[in-house]
Homo-oligomer: A and B are copies of this chain.
């Protein structure tokens, strides 16, 4: 009932919107964020620059949306009954995503946001927070089931799993494969202290 306002004149062209996102996505995959210049997006999509800037505030917003529309069904949302197993599956999936070509684009978007505080928060909000809800649910279930500690800040807990992945994606100082993901989960759960000797 909100958008029931009749809106005089010609409505926004949905094909144009899709063409922009498709073209941008293609350019992102081929040459990363740097290759996705507005001119090129316009040329490839057949949509004029003016139209692009009419619907997105700047080219990063376009890239962000193009990126999000590509990682739609990527992320797993497991519920095996074991928090440890759920985390293992999720962290593995995230690692795979970060290591993929699309993950590079994620890094570049995250990077770009560092210099552009205006649009950055929204960008980060949509990129990071969206995933956050899913894994938060895993955590809560684990705590409820008595598998996980209830005296830990959930944000810290989740960062213990995903921080290392982000770090490796950006700095590339160590591998970002399935073994690494599993090790992160194992150690995060059991702790680094020597006395904490127990099974995952």
Contact = CB atoms under 8 A, between A and B. Distances in A.
A51 to B, nearest CB: 14
Contacts of A55: none
Contacts of A192: 148-149, 152, 157, 160, 188-189, 191
A191 B189 contact: yes
Given A159-B163, A172-B121, A188-B188, A147 B194 contact: yes
A193 B148 contact: yes
A186 B127 CA distance: 28
Identical chains in the assembly: 4
Question: By DSSP majority rule, is chain A's interface helix, strand, loop, or mixed?
Answer: helix
Given A115-B111, A165-B163, A171-B124, A149 B193 contact: yes
Most chain B beta-carbon neighbours within 10 Å: one of A107, A171, A188 = A171
Contact of A159 (B127, B174, B196): B174
Most chain B beta-carbon neighbours within 10 Å: one of A33, A114, A124, A200 = A114
A42 to B, nearest CB: 12
Contact of A156 (B166, B184, B195, B198): B184
A104 B117 CA distance: 11
Contact of A111 (B32, B114, B183): B114
A49 to B, nearest CB: 11
Interface of A: 32-34, 84, 104, 107-108, 110-115, 121, 124, 127-129, 132, 146-150, 152-153, 155-157, 159-160, 162-168, 170-174, 180, 183-184, 187-198, 200
6 contacts: A146-B194, A148-B194, A153-B180, A190-B193, A191-B191, A191-B192
Given A150-B194, A160-B187, A188-B191, 11 more contacts: A129-B173, A149-B193, A149-B196, A149-B197, A152-B183, A156-B174, A160-B160, A160-B163, A163-B163, A188-B188, A196-B198
